Structure 1
């Protein structure tokens, strides 16, 4: 797909995301009165309580957040999101999805999986099918909570209302749906090759650097530091090269084994990287 125009790839991602979200809603969640988090959860709750058409409710519920997105992100994002939300509304109106199952466990898991795939693909296409993160971004600039805490608080309110107005078991199953969708979104966006930053402090840093580059084919960055400062000899220290590199999580075990073979006492720690591009990374940047 790398030879295709960027706008075409984004469009394909967005259309697929719309179709997957429509499938999750009409084939799993709506027939079984299940809910999700975020704006979609609000729309499903309104649909269930007042029996309004879900297509119209989802579109109208997202309008305020699309307007926020115009100012909090950018106009291109807002326009793409408008098109995606309208596309989802049309999908819910006209695509003849059929209910798949009434088994609550299957609905909670696979409804969440397909919803997560849809939202994740839309994000890769440069838009959003749920405006909750825009709201959290807007609110987070005005109060001292993080975006994650704001989203969690909003979703707690949604599921509490669902427990009171519908049934507690349905609300609990819906929490499982939301969790499954969240994990699937992360998987779709990050993929199997989610990047991991690795920092290595070793007395054998020269050999570590050589084998990381020559055997693993990774780019490295070297920081100049000092090691020592032990309790029994606090005043004793000496220079050391601190080696930093970025690998996929599938390569972390191999890297650890390589470093252990060189220096079994080496200090190695990792950190998750949400997005990385450029340098000598082995694959192109995500959309």
Structure 2
């Protein structure tokens, strides 16, 4: 009970920190550069700017963002996990609260610096949020649902939605801001791929004299099985066992040292895997 309470407290603190960092980024780099993030955040900002420019109405960030997240939150509760969705709702609500609370501040007027460093902060804030099993809402729910429950690569769908947002922004507010927003989104995506690797896979080919021990390590650390193949060395023509397995990229940093500890002579080839079809285990969200 105490351990669960401690974990929940840490999770809440990290989510609130991510919400504040993301809000700070919106009120400095994003608004200063007139940029448009992807997903529900970008759509929220577009609605705000349309209301201000064409109707001279200043709408708070929070109510728009919450309304846009109603359907994604339903998807989260129904298909992904209740605790996961609850912490994501906290992220959405407090992110909006901090955006409306923090005054806008210009750090630099250089649009390239704004795009790059704003993208870095956006990627970092989303990554630390995902590491404690929460999201910033919007398309993150849809992406996780399609990846985890349907085995579908959601990137083309999310990209198409972001392209629509940037097209609307370019038509209404100028193409220079829309083009710089592409840099912003690209940088944030790259930071996310570096820091958060749960939905990325790696293929392992391990030539070892201790296949049983290696398979046990793979199963214990990653909850994935392995396939054993017989091989023959081309130089000395010795019989070798090849262990083949596909694991989550986030497990690689634990797996390889553990395998080398059991068999320091093992030859390990780790290859990035673009797509997996079939029964691939993913840790439940709750």
- What TM-score do you get using the length of structure 1 for normalisation? 0.70
Structure 2 CA distance, aligned partners of 1:72 and 1:145? 15
Do structure 1's residue 165 and structure 2's residue 172 form an aligned pair? yes
Larger Rg: 1 or 2? 1
TM-superposed deviation, 1:55: 3.2
Cα separation, partners in 2 of 1:87 and 1:224, compared to 1, 3 Å:
closer
Moved more, 240-249 or 81-90: 240-249
Structure 1 CA distance, aligned partners of 2:151 and 2:65? 29
Do structure 1's residue 248 and structure 2's residue 249 form an aligned pair? no
Contact 1:72 1:134 in 2 (8 A): no
Structure 2 CA distance, aligned partners of 1:247 and 1:89? 36
SS of 1:270's partner is strand
Structure 2 CA distance, aligned partners of 1:67 and 1:108? 32
Contact 2:36 2:178 in 1 (8 A): yes
Contact 1:84 1:127 in 2 (8 A): yes
Structure 2 CA distance, aligned partners of 1:197 and 1:11? 34
Which aligned pairs between 1:114-125 and structure 2 lie closer than 5 A? 114-125=121-132
Structure 2 CA distance, aligned partners of 1:123 and 1:141? 14
SS of 1:171's partner is helix
SS of 2:107's partner is coil
Cα separation, partners in 2 of 1:64 and 1:163, compared to 1, 3 Å:
same
Contact 1:35 1:171 in 2 (8 A): yes
Q: Name structure 1 gaps, 5 residues minimum.
A: 231-236, 279-285
Which aligned pairs between 1:166-181 and structure 2 lie closer than 5 A? 166-181=173-188
Moved more, 10-19 or 181-190: 181-190
Structure 2 CA distance, aligned partners of 1:143 and 1:223? 25
TM-superposed deviation, 1:62: 1.8
SS of 1:36's partner is coil
Contact 2:148 2:282 in 1 (8 A): no
Quote the residue 1:225 is aligned against: 229
Listed one character per residue, the Cα deviations across residues 8-42 of structure 1 (whole Å, up to 9, x for unaligned) are 11012101101110111001111321101111111
Contact 1:108 1:173 in 2 (8 A): yes
Quote the residue 1:77 is aligned against: 84
- Count matched residues: 251
- What TM-score do you get using the length of structure 2 for normalisation? 0.70
